[in-house]
Structure formats: C-alpha cells, structure tokens
Structure 1
C-alpha cells in the first residue's frame, strides 16, 4: 500500500547517476519535492515521461521545488540513460538493497522486481500532500504535478 496523503514521507539516502548521495531530509524546510518512481531506464513509457519532465524542467527544479526520479536500475545504467536523454535532474538508484526505498513508499512490485509508476508531492515539512500510483503501462500526466505544486 502506497504512502498516503497526510503521512510523513519516509526519509532515504540514495545515489544519483553521478554517485552523489541525496537524502529527502536535505530538502526539509527548503524545497517541496516531486518524488517520482519509474520502473526502468531505457523503456518506452519511462523514457517518454522523463523526457516530458526534462522539457518542462523549470517547473520541477527551481528555488521552491526539487524533482527526484527513482528507479531500481544501477547508477551506471542511470548515468548512460541521463546522458543519452539529456536528463539534468537527479536520477536516484534504488538498486541495492534492491527496492528498499520503493518498498518503503509502497510502490515496489516484487513479482516484476521494479517500482510501479508512483509519484509523491512532498511539502517543505516532509509531508505527502498529493500522490498518484499507476500500473506499469500507464503514463502519468505531469500537469497533475503542476496543479498539486500550485496548491502547496
């Protein structure tokens, strides 16, 4: 079951595609966070979703908001994926322990071995204010994130 609106977002420490550690708590009191889980790099729907975010990046990475995209890929795969697609926001690796953060947020599909499409808008106090969870084949609408951020 996914983390619900109104709940404190579970903190985590994950590595980016460049090997830098990122924690959710480092944004507390500073920025709202759009935490986006996606199944795998280099796949059709995931690539499309991340390209759409790339193309609207100022809405999701600015003085008030930080986008963090999480998959169960290795950081090495994420680095190549980011370079290939021109993704200049943190791609976080929930590779090992496999799916630990995805499980904490209730979006890990143990049968498939990857996260489903879960998005959590987290306010500056670390509280989940909006969420959507879609199945593997179902892309999300980034305009929903924009609306949720506007309501914070």
Structure 2
C-alpha cells in the first residue's frame, strides 16, 4: 500500500543538526532532492549499520543533487558522539519531540521513537517515495536501490 504522503508536499520542519546548524526542510525546495532517513536510536545495532552506509555514499547522493539527513529523537549531543564514533558525515537531526516522525506517520507511540523509514523528496518539495520497514529491527532498502530511485527521479523531472 502506498504511503499517504506520496505525491503530497513534504511536511516542513526545522530541526537542529549534529553539525549545530538549524535545518529547515523547505529551504532545499528548488535546490536539492532530500532523503529523510528516520531511525529509532543512535548506537543501536541496526541503526549503526544503516546510517553509516548512507553516510559512506554521500558523494553518490551529492552527484544526484541529493542531501541525506538522519532523523530521530536523540539529542544533538548524542548525535555528535555517535557520528564521531562511527564516522558518520551526514547531518543527524534531533527530532526530540518526534514532531517530524509524527508528521510523516512513522512515530511508534508505544516505544516513544520513530520507526525505520526512508522518504525521498524531490526538488519541488513533493514526497516521491516512501519505504517503511515493518519492524525497527529491519533494514531492507539497499543504498544502491535508493540511489536508483533518485536517478529515476532526476530523469523524470
């Protein structure tokens, strides 16, 4: 079943990043495609495989006019420590109150954090793809597959 946000304007937000910048999603409109990677917790086993993999491929994303942001409820201090330990170079956004996770429909209330999900937002600010994992312990969207979706997006614009 398609996610209800596909084809809709991406819910906007402004969140503090591990880079100490304030990131406003709508500021990328007309400039870059955006990949939002919602994940449960820094330092958790699956997240510690997934997010570094996206970070390691940031140049491949950049070649496709795309920026990638990790998003979860952890603080920027936790994000900075995790990024330093794992060599993560993509900005990690602190969604402390999980407002962004709620806006994207991926907040897991009983656990108090976001689920694992990837959203592709085009340069027009529209949600073009959503991959929602059934369980937070899963990471089934290979980065190569995500990059192919972004390349196809560039070809259709």
Q: TM-score, normalised by structure 1?
A: 0.93
Matched with 1:86 is 87
**Separation (CA, whole Å) in 1 of partners of 2:142 and 2:64:** 23
Structure 2 unaligned residues grouped into runs of 5+: none
RMSD (Å) for aligned C-alpha atoms: 1.5
**Separation (CA, whole Å) in 1 of partners of 2:48 and 2:55:** 10
What SS does structure 1 have at the residue aligned with 2:111?
coil
1:7-62 deviation per Cα after TM superposition (whole angstroms, max 9, x unaligned)? 11001000001321001111100000011100000011001001211222212235
Instruction: Give aligned pairs, total.
Output: 150
Query: Does the Cα contact within 8 Å between 2:58 and 2:67 map onto a contact in 1?
Result: no
What SS does structure 2 have at the residue aligned with 1:132?
strand
Structure 1 unaligned residues grouped into runs of 5+: none
Matched with 2:108 is 109
Matched with 1:7 is 8
Structure 1: 4+ residue segments shifted above 2 A: 1-4, 60-63
**Separation (CA, whole Å) in 2 of partners of 1:138 and 1:129:** 22
